[in-house]
Amino acid sequence: MLAAARVRGDWDCIIDRRFNAQVWIVCWVAQYQCPWQHEVGLQLSSFIEDAWMNETRNRFRLRNPIVTAPEIERECHNRDAGLSKAARILLAAAGAVTTRISGEIATQLRALGSQKFTDPYRFA
């Protein structure tokens, strides 16, 4: 987990390794139903959004940027937040990297991305 967190924030890291670390962290955080999951999801989605918006500005790093960059930008501009937004951004980014994710992980990300974002503090 610590190694993935280090790579996730390393701007000098190649895009494939960063994508792999982001997928690993999102899946790891999603598997635990902890009180802190909402807050970590918000921070994680914000960081992933910033990272991939930066990558769309540097399209030369993306595979097939004409197709993948608009998909990534659309998911980044989505008003949702949390782990569901992070999962949708990563699914959009999957076509922009050479790293392939397994069917099991893709299914997990799709399920996570289809969840409706709810704020646990909305009634507080």
Residues 6+ apart with CB under 8 A from 113: 84, 85, 87, 88, 91
Q: Please report the DSSP string for 10-63 in residue order.
A: -TTS-HHHHHHHHHHHHHHHHT---TTHHHHHHHHHHHHHHHHHHHHHSGGGSS
Q: Rounded distance, CA 100 to CA 39, Å?
A: 28
User: Whole-model pTM?
Assistant: 0.86
pLDDT at 17 over 90: no
Domain ranges of the chain: 2-113
Question: For the segment 93-120, what is each residue's pLDDT rounded down to a tens digit?
Answer: 999 999 899 999 999 999 998 887 666 6
